[in-house]
């Protein structure tokens, strides 16, 4: 409940100061449906937050009566912080403010039994999803070469994104995949999840949606509860989310959706721009507010972004304008290859740094996650501090997922997926054979793997050695569970990892990564202490799957274009503007014009992240999957307005014809280097034909040359102490005590003794 002193605000509330007319309109039009069409950099987030604060501060509703939904945890976090600040609230954790998934979990826990789940259901990760699908394919004798588990899971997810339970998939569509057999897999997949008392990500929304549709009383309750609904990034809603929202909003109709059709970049995840176009039909009498004044970028940047996006058809059409100066020209630079591009960006960053630019105001926005590596390597050698946003996530690491499996098992012994994962690691003499016996026993008795194991150790089904080992495991798990209520959970986690031998498994491992893994495990145990209970921690992990890495430090950000949505930087580098890479060949092959337009919106998003400076680059050659591919500059380069850009070429790259027979970017099938389809030839790999043996021999020679050897303890001027993991000429891969594993140049490294250790 709110502090009363904060609810009374006379005259013009201070928090709306400085809002322009349209923004004010969007904030104050509190009753009835409102659609805010907000262009990039128009203060959309501020409007949404202020609107929420305004509803509460004017006493229109209590905090518990407002539902505010965002797409990303980042956006939710930002909104929470801002609202708390505006209204001077110590905590907004209990409010209905969060991502679609976080809100859905909260609702689903309360009504899980209506879809055949317990309220303590587990949320499974992609790993478990795939394992399940693989099992089901095998059981149904479907060839996993012809039906790769990933594609099958993709089909299932697409159905879920569209809000279709197995029963709601149309017969004709079901037939499309393996004559309906994939649809059958979907059915048994859902069945299996239910038996496991588990949900995947898509289920969180799908189940909640089904509950709304089938339990009028539940929906009516939520109607009564939520007087106001706010939605951010409405253009990114998929069908399931759209239906979910529409049902909820039909209560008070006080729904305010904020979005930008030009920034719809999640079509591949089932997002439908159509949802935003349909708003007026769904909510008759809706008020439409347009935010077109851009406060972020210079005139030239805005002109460039507008010019590119104008090549798309079927837009709602907004005309962004700014009072800001024209600013600097945008720069477009062509380079010989990816390495040269990284060198160029590195140099430019150093220039900016010399001119006093803060590095946290610089970002490198790439199309694919794999592109980050080149920049990382370059920044490492130049000692430019950087962070990869949304890259390798802490909770996705192997050792963390393994450890989490143990914790899940302790939290609920019937989590069979966790059982399967924990029992194999560390080795206990219980391999596929033993597990198979437990599996079939469990299937027959219709009980969880853990219960089956407990019963099996009383019989002669397993060989004596396996039986003994299994009995030990079962009693260990039972012991840990018994301790659950008498022990602080981070202590318990420590104990579990210790007693299970999992920690020891990595401590005894001599490989160079092992040390870092042990540290990660310690970090996990520490993180656990911040949560109320084990269950709460596990839920947080499955929903957020991200650690808030060191923020607030002065570092260049490297991230994907998708990851950059909602952010802004003074200077933005946009590398990799090459046909095939960006626009992405696969997107175009699979989605045609629709795919291309989404790529173009991505370009628009990228450009509009920049406040003052945008530097676009492309490379003529790029190494992909170990072989070389050549490409021509992206068509998006040609769509930039000439009067606002400066083209620079590197040794005539931009205008010079590429070497003969180097066509586009290869087909979407990523053929082997020596084949390749006609007209889409790829350059022959420099390394093709080289056997692994030859490569290894070459590696040995270079190891002796660099003066460092594998396993040596060394000191790096920036990252501190570490162990040499591998040596390739001048490049060392070092597993650092503090900074993880990194590739560095050997001249930045000295033997540990010399560093005065």
Residues with a catalytic annotation lie at: 44-45, 232-233, 263, 609
x/- track of binding to DNA for residues 656-685 (CB under 7 A): ------------x-x---------------
What phi, psi does 17 have (nearest 5°)? -60, 135
679 marked as part of a ligand binding site? no
Of residues 43-102, those binding DNA (CB under 7 A): 71-74, 99-101
Using CA atoms, how far apart are residues 307 and 604, in angstroms rounded to an integer?
9
43 marked as part of a ligand binding site? yes
Tokens of residue 105, six digits: 């979990």
175 marked as part of a ligand binding site? no
38 marked as part of a ligand binding site? yes
Q: Give the C-alpha distances (Å, rounded to integers) separating 420 from 381, 394, 439.
A: 43, 22, 10
Tokens of residue 197, six digits: 């008392």
Q: Is the dihedral of CA 47, 50, 55, 61 positive or negative?
A: positive
∠ CA 576-579-581, nearest 5°, is: 50
CB of 418 to DNA, least distance (A): 17
**Residue 497 or 725 with smaller CB distance to DNA:** 725
Using CA atoms, how far apart are residues 85 and 92, in angstroms rounded to an integer?
10
x/- track of binding to DNA for residues 199-228 (CB under 7 A): --x---------------------------
327 is an interface residue for DNA by CB under 7 A: no
Of residues 279-308, those binding DNA (CB under 7 A): none
x/- track of binding to DNA for residues 150-189 (CB under 7 A): x---------------------------------------
Using CA atoms, how far apart are residues 45 and 51, in angstroms rounded to an integer?
10
30 marked as part of a ligand binding site? no
x/- track of binding to DNA for residues 374-413 (CB under 7 A): ----------------x-------x---------------
120 is an interface residue for DNA by CB under 7 A: no
Cis peptide before 426 (omega within 30 of 0): yes
39 marked as part of a ligand binding site? yes
What's 754's DSSP letter?
A: G
**Residue 649 or 704 with smaller CB distance to DNA:** 704
Q: Give the C-alpha distances (Å, rounded to integers) separating 452 from 434, 444, 447.
A: 12, 10, 6
489 is an interface residue for DNA by CB under 7 A: no
83-91, 443-451, 588-596, 653-661 -> range binding DNA (CB under 7 A): 588-596
Tokens of residue 391, six digits: 């890259």
430 is an interface residue for DNA by CB under 7 A: yes
Using CA atoms, how far apart are residues 103 and 510, in angstroms rounded to an integer?
44
626 is an interface residue for DNA by CB under 7 A: yes
624 is an interface residue for DNA by CB under 7 A: yes
Of residues 540-579, those binding DNA (CB under 7 A): 545-546, 560, 562-563
Q: Reduced to 3 states, what is the DSSP secondary structure of residue 608?
A: coil
Residue selected from 5, 91, 145, 319 as contacting DNA according to rule CB under 7 A: 145
144-152, 405-413, 440-448, 481-489 -> range binding DNA (CB under 7 A): 144-152
Give the contacts of 124 (CB within 8 A, at least 6 positions apart).
132, 193, 196, 198, 199, 200, 417, 542
CB of 378 to DNA, least distance (A): 14
Instruction: Give the residue carrying structure tokens 């202590």.
Output: 491
694 is an interface residue for DNA by CB under 7 A: no
593 is an interface residue for DNA by CB under 7 A: no
Q: For the chain, percent helix, then strand, then coil, each to nearest 5?
A: 50, 15, 35
Residue selected from 180, 369, 501, 740 as contacting DNA according to rule CB under 7 A: 369
Using CA atoms, how far apart are residues 166 and 270, in angstroms rounded to an integer?
17
Pairing of β 627-630 and β 556-560: unpaired
Residue pair 241/209 in contact (Cβ under 8 Å)? The answer is no
627 is an interface residue for DNA by CB under 7 A: yes
**Residue 485 or 550 with smaller CB distance to DNA:** 550
Q: Reduced to 3 states, what is the DSSP secondary structure of residue 133?
A: helix
669 marked as part of a ligand binding site? no
Instruction: Give the residue carrying structure tokens 């304008």.
Output: 321
Binding region for DNA (CB under 7 A): 71-74, 99-101, 126, 145, 148, 150, 201, 265, 268-269, 368-370, 390, 398, 427-434, 466, 545-546, 560, 562-563, 584, 586-587, 590-591, 595, 624-627, 668, 670, 687, 692-693, 728
**Residues of each annotated binding site for ATP:** 38-45
């Amino acid at each position: 409940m709110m502090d009363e002193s904060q609810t009374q605000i006379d005259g013009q509330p201070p928090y709306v100061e400085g809002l322009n007319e349209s923004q004010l309109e969007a904030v104050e039009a509190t009753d009835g449906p409102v659609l805010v069409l907000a262009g990039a950099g128009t203060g959309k987030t501020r409007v949404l937050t202020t609107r929420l604060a305004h509803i509460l501060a004017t006493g229109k509703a209590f905090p518990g009566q407002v539902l505010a939904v965002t797409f990303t945890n980042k956006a939710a976090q930002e909104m929470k912080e801002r609202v708390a600040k505006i209204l001077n609230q110590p905590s907004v954790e209990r409010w209905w403010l969060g991502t679609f998934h976080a809100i859905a979990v909260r609702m689903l826990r309360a009504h899980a039994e209506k879809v055949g789940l317990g309220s303590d259901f587990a949320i499974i990760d992609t790993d478990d999803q795939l394992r399940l699908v693989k099992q089901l394919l095998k059981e149904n004798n479907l060839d996993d070469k012809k039906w790769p588990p990933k594609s099958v899971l993709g089909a299932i997810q697409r159905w879920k994104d569209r809000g279709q339970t197995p029963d709601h998939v149309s017969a004709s569509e079901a037939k499309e995949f393996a004559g309906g057999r994939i649809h059958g897999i979907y059915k048994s997949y859902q069945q299996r999840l239910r038996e496991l008392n588990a949900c995947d990500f898509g289920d969180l929304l799908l189940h909640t949606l089904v509950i709304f549709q089938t339990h009028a009383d539940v929906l009516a309750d939520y109607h009564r509860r939520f007087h106001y609904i706010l939605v951010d990034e409405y253009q990114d809603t998929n069908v399931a989310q759209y239906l979910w929202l529409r049902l909820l909003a039909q209560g008070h109709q006080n729904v305010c959706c904020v979005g930008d059709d030009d920034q719809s970049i999640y079509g591949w995840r089932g997002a439908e721009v159509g949802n935003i176009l349909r708003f007026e039909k769904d909510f008759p009498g809706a008020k439409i507010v347009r935010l077109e004044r851009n406060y972020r970028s210079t005139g030239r940047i805005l002109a460039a972004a507008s010019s590119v996006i104008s090549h798309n058809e079927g837009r709602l059409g907004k005309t962004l304008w700014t009072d800001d100066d024209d600013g600097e020209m945008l720069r477009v630079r062509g380079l010989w290859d990816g390495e040269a591009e990284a060198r160029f960006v590195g140099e430019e960053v150093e220039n900016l740094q010399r001119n006093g630019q803060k590095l946290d105001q610089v970002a490198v926005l790439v199309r694919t996650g794999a592109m980050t590596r080149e920049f990382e390597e370059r920044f490492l050698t130049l000692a430019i501090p950087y962070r990869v946003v949304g890259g390798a996530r802490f909770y996705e690491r192997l050792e963390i997922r393994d450890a989490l499996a143990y914790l899940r098992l302790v939290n609920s012994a019937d989590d069979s997926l966790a059982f399967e994962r924990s029992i194999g690691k560390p080795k206990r003499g219980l391999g596929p054979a033993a597990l198979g016996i437990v599996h079939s026993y469990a299937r027959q008795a219709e009980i969880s793997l853990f219960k089956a194991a407990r019963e099996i150790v009383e019989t002669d089904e397993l060989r004596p050695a396996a039986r003994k080992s299994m009995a030990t495991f079962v009693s260990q798990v039972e012991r840990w569970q018994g301790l659950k209520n008498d022990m602080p959970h981070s202590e318990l986690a420590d104990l579990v990892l210790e007693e299970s031998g999992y920690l020891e498994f990595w401590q005894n491992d001599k490989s160079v990564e092992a040390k870092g893994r042990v540290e990660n495990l310690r970090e996990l145990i520490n993180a656990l202490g911040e949560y109320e209970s084990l269950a709460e921690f596990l839920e947080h992990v499955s929903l957020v799957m991200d650690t808030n890495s060191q923020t607030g430090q002065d570092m260049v950000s490297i991230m994907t274009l998708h990851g950059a949505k909602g952010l802004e930087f003074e200077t933005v580098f946009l590398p990799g503007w090459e046909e095939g890479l960006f626009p992405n060949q696969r997107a175009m092959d699979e989605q045609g014009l629709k795919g291309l337009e989404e790529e173009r919106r991505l370009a628009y998003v990228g450009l509009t992240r920049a406040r003052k400076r945008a530097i676009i680059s492309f490379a003529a050659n790029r190494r992909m999957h170990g072989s070389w591919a050549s490409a021509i500059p992206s068509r998006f380069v040609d769509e930039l307005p000439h009067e606002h850009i400066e083209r620079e070429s590197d040794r005539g790259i931009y205008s010079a014809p590429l070497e003969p027979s180097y066509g586009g970017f290869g087909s979407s099938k990523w053929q082997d280097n020596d084949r390749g389809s006609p007209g889409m030839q790829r350059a022959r790999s420099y390394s093709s034909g080289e056997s692994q043996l030859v490569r290894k021999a070459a590696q040995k020679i270079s190891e002796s040359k660099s003066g460092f050897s594998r396993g040596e303890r060394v000191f790096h001027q920036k990252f501190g102490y570490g162990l040499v993991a591998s040596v390739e000429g001048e490049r060392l891969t070092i597993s650092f005590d503090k900074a993880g594993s990194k590739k560095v140049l050997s001249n930045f490294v000295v033997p540990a003794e010399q560093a005065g250790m």
